[in-house]
Amino acid sequence: MSKLTTLASGQVTPAEAITVVLVEPDDIPASVIIHWPPQPTVSTPRQFAQVAAAAMRVLALASTELARIRAGRKL
């Protein structure tokens, strides 16, 4: 049985979110899965910087949480 830990989740547009999950199976090394919206994310050129920044915030939060977890135990 795999242990799943949500590292971060957040909106990248008002209608779309991404989620980053740490998966720790019993028999193989741990991995990180990024769940993106199933359809392409569409934005205007004017909004692109905001969408990119929102996605990077979620990824940065996930990276920070993974580092906190790793500091507490060996992955």
Question: Do the bridges between strand 3-13 and strand 16-24 make them parallel or antiparallel, or are there none, so unpaired?
Answer: antiparallel
Residue matched to tokens 């199976």: 25
Query: What DSSP element (H or E) covers 35?
Result: strand 31-35
pLDDT by residue (tens digit) across 18-38?
Answer: 999 999 999 999 999 999 999
75 band by pLDDT with thresholds 50, 70 and 90: low
Residue 69 has a pLDDT of 93
CB 61 within 8 A of CB 69: no
Query: What are the φ and ψ backbone dihedral angles of 37, each rounded to 5 degrees?
Result: -60, 145
CB-count exposure of residue 7 (10 Å: 0-12, 13-18, 19+): buried
Q: What is the pTM of this model?
A: 0.87
